[in-house]
Amino acid sequence: MSDLFVALTPANLFACFLGAVLGTIVGVLPGLGPAGAMALVLPLTIKLGPTAGLIMLAGIYYGAMYGGSTTSILVNVPGEAASVVTTIDGYRMARRGRAGAALAIAAIASFVAGTFSVVALQVAAPLVARAALAFGPAEYFAFALLGVVLLANLTGGSRAKSFAMVVVGVMLSTVGMDPLGGSVRFTLGVGGAEAGFSFIAVTAGLFGVAEVLTTMAEPGSVVAAARVKFRELYPNREELRRAVPAMLRGTVLGFFVGLVPGPAATLASFVSYGVERKVSKYRHELGTGAIEGVAGPEAANNAAAGGGMIPLLSLGLPFTPSTAVLLSGMLLMSVTPGPFLLRDHPQVFWGVIGSFYVGNIMLLLLNLPLVGLFARVATIPPRYLMPGVLVLCVVAAYSDNNNLFDVWVLMAAGIAGYLMRALGWNPAPLVLGLVLGPLLERSLLQALTIGRGDVRELWASAAAAVMLAAAVVVFAFPIARVAGRRRPRGA
Amino acid sequence: MGRDRGSALGLAVFAVVYLLADRRYPLDTLSTPGPGLFPLLAGLALLALAGWQFAIPDRRPDHAPAAVREPSSARAPLAMAGVLVIYAALLPVVGFMPGSFALVVVSARLMGLRRWWAAATLALGVVLASRVVFVTWLGVPLP
């Protein structure tokens, strides 16, 4: 526990500050998103060392959640998907002259939820990690499979498309060395492909280069941001009184949604808004500029970001693109997340958790007085920003393995990502498939070997059986429901 | 054939090519699984999912950005895609600095930066900044 104070060393404080600022800017800018930004700065964080590097990456992750609300409220442009709901009431509050109050409530809700989720993470992560020590290959396989199935059900689009994207990611993960025997597969004799597809190159391509290409296809006009004076940043007593219950509901709800695989932060903000529409005393005002519509969703998306760290730190399983980049960063820094993280790297584990506390305070202090400045970032025309993003993508991809093959992978992933968006395919499940692929393959083959070829080994333990049964139910239920609806009446 | 069915067909072709390539790797037995087993399962899963998508295409409203669907607005990204391929091919020959300078100039122009000198100044700033931060400060070797 004393390792929590590792976060207070000057180097780690600086890394936390840098990550929080970068994250806020990424959250403010529509498009790139935290996962892409984290992939772009990976080369820089590796140079900082494991603790400071991961603190910086984590800072970007939760900083983006804070920043996303600023442009939602001031210019009706959500910086990232988790802030879409905030535009509904936040922008209407701004048009009524209550932009300052909405921004302050969003920052306070983010702080309260972020702090709650860190406390819960601090308590729950070691417990989950201890329980996971009993996990063998069959349990890991079942849990990863359940995660993949849940993810495909929750990404919002077609389930078949989401599943297909996960499987494509898994197939791409088989390129290169196989995780058990060491045979080289699917390289087609191309030099540099033996190491497999670089996760950074694929992520930077799918999110960074594809964003540049998409921006070129939609040359939007520059948005105008409302000016907010510092003295206007105080919500009145009535607004505070109404915001607190929504904030608390959003916090608890968001944390639990964060544990579920999928776009947790986005989902949490939508669920929180739905809950407010059902239970709030002022539900009839939602949609017209009600403070509950800002406090609930903003608390929920920040709490979900903390909740999503539990499966990553305790089990080594990332269920969102951002935590997948964090996992990749950890592996590059020779830190393996999972049940042994706390034993092998206590300074990294507690240092990152400690930085969440510090980061939340920094973000509150940064976001209250500097909202006007951050909102102006959103008004920079893309023609000045996007060419720089392209060069950063190239640096990030190349520096992963100092390999030109990865630059080709970056370009191919960028063009593929653009086409996917154009055809309505979400690339996020592909990224997770790419990360979970080796784990799925290794645990499946190990379980089969342990069971001497008996597939019943996969559900021999109660935990694995329950998780596999849940995966089957989650997979089959929507199909059965659709089939039931199509059956003619009386048949 | 709709776009969903077309992309499902594309995925099915990808799965078949992948499965054909997987024939080079041994499956061995279930007790000592070979390197070909897991890719076989993944390839078959994609084939089944492509079939599912082909049979029941997504009927929900299209989430694709409207501008991407306009053939005229797809011209700039298509041109940029070509530029990216040329950049990747020339990178080992011309090196990072001159190659990236040209990439920024061309991409800024394609994004609507009309003045050549502004695009060149932007490119110089981006290339010099990345050189100072990544090569000089962080020691990242660039091509």
Q: What is the pLDDT of residues A337-363, one digit of tens each?
A: 887 887 788 888 888 888 888 888 888
Give me the pLDDT at residue B101, please: 96
Give me the pLDDT at residue B5, please: 85
d(CA A120, CA A306): 8
pLDDT band of residue A161 (cuts 50, 70, 90) is confident
Give me the pLDDT at residue A28, please: 74
d(CA A13, CA A134): 36
Mean pLDDT of chain B: 85
Token output for A179: 């995780």
Residues of A in contact with B142 (CB under 8 A): 395, 398-399
Asked whether A354 and A7 are in contact (CB, 8 A), the reply is yes
Please answer yes or no on whether A212 and B65 come within 8 Å at the CB atom.
no
Q: How far is A245 from chain B (nearest CA, A)?
A: 34
Q: Where are the alpha helices (DSSP H) in A96-225?
A: 99-132, 137-154, 159-173, 199-203, 210-217
d(CA B25, CA A205): 29
Please answer yes or no on whether B138 and A415 come within 8 Å at the CB atom.
no
Mutation to test the B interface, candidates A149, A183, A390, most B Cβ within 10 Å: A390
User: pLDDT (tens digit, 9 = 90+) per residue, A106-122?
Assistant: 888 988 998 898 888 88
Token output for A409: 């992978």
Q: Name which residue leads in pLDDT, A294 or A270.
A: A294
pTM of the model: 0.78
The amino acid at A39: A
Closest residue of chain A to B2, computed from CA coordinates: A423
Q: Is A136 on the interface with B (CB under 8 A)?
A: no
d(CA A41, CA A206): 16
Closest residue of chain A to B55, computed from CA coordinates: A160
Residues of A in contact with B2 (CB under 8 A): none
Give me the pLDDT at residue A412, please: 95
Q: Is A222 on the interface with B (CB under 8 A)?
A: no
The amino acid at B96: F
Asked whether B77 and B56 are in contact (CB, 8 A), the reply is no
Q: Is A425 on the interface with B (CB under 8 A)?
A: yes
Per-window interface: A 233-262 vs B, CB < 8 A: none
Closest residue of chain B to A444, computed from CA coordinates: B38
For residues A304-321, give the mean pLDDT. 82
Residue written as token pair 């950074």: A200
Which range, of A111-120, A170-179, A310-319, B42-51, averages the lowest pLDDT? A310-319
Question: Is a pLDDT exceeding 90 seen at residue B17?
Answer: yes
Give me the pLDDT at residue B64, please: 43
Cβ neighbours for A434, distance < 8 A, ≥ 6 positions apart: A169, A170, A172, A173, A197, A199, A202, A324
For residues A399-415, give the mean pLDDT. 90
ipTM of model? 0.89
Nearest to A216 among B43, B49, B111 (CB): B111
Asked whether A422 and B68 are in contact (CB, 8 A), the reply is yes
Token output for A104: 């302050």
Q: Is A475 on the interface with B (CB under 8 A)?
A: no
Give me the pLDDT at residue A2, please: 65
Give me the pLDDT at residue B63, please: 45
Nearest to A167 among B46, B100, B111 (CB): B46
Q: Where are the alpha helices (DSSP H) in B95-132?
A: 96-110, 116-130
Q: Is A277 on the interface with B (CB under 8 A)?
A: no
pLDDT band of residue B18 (cuts 50, 70, 90) is very high
Nearest to B76 among A216, A424, A455 (CB): A216
Q: Name which residue leads in pLDDT, A244 or A47.
A: A244
Give me the pLDDT at residue A489, please: 53
Per-window interface: A 11-50 vs B, CB < 8 A: 43-44, 47
Q: Is A174 on the interface with B (CB under 8 A)?
A: yes
Nearest to A415 among B70, B81, B96 (CB): B81
Question: Is a pLDDT exceeding 60 seen at residue A222?
Answer: no
Please answer yes or no on whether A387 and B111 come within 8 Å at the CB atom.
yes
Token output for A35: 């996962």
Closest residue of chain B to A395, computed from CA coordinates: B142
Please measure the distance between the N-terminal and C-terminal CA atoms of chain A and give it in whole angstroms. Answer: 64
Q: Name which residue leads in pLDDT, A481 or A196.
A: A196
Nearest to A453 among B30, B49, B87 (CB): B30
Give me the pLDDT at residue B69, please: 43
User: pLDDT (tens digit, 9 = 90+) per residue, A443-470?
Assistant: 999 999 999 989 999 998 998 999 899 9
Burial of B73 (0-12, 13-18, 19+ CB in 10 A): middle
Q: How far is B66 from chain A (nearest CA, A)?
A: 8
Residues of A in contact with B141 (CB under 8 A): 399, 402
For residues B17-27, give the mean pLDDT. 94
d(CA A469, CA B106): 54
Rg value, chain B, Cα: 23
Distances from the Cα of A25 to the Cαs of A35, A73, A394, in angstroms? 13, 15, 21
Residues of A in contact with B17 (CB under 8 A): none
Nearest to A423 among B64, B74, B104 (CB): B64
pLDDT band of residue B94 (cuts 50, 70, 90) is very high
Question: Is a pLDDT exceeding 70 seen at residue B68?
Answer: no
User: pLDDT (tens digit, 9 = 90+) per residue, A170-185?
Assistant: 999 999 988 887 789 9
Rg value, chain A, Cα: 22
Closest residue of chain B to A218, computed from CA coordinates: B67
Closest residue of chain A to B33, computed from CA coordinates: A445
Closest residue of chain A to B131, computed from CA coordinates: A395
Q: How far is A170 from chain B (nearest CA, A)?
A: 7
Q: Is A384 on the interface with B (CB under 8 A)?
A: yes
Share of residues in chain A with pLDDT > 90 (%)? 15
Mean pLDDT of chain A: 83
d(CA B65, CA B81): 18
Give me the pLDDT at residue A66, please: 77
Phi-psi sector, A97: left (phi>0), alpha (psi -120 to 50), beta: left
Residues of B in contact with A399 (CB under 8 A): 134, 140-142
Closest residue of chain B to A217, computed from CA coordinates: B73
Please answer yes or no on whether A404 and B92 come within 8 Å at the CB atom.
yes
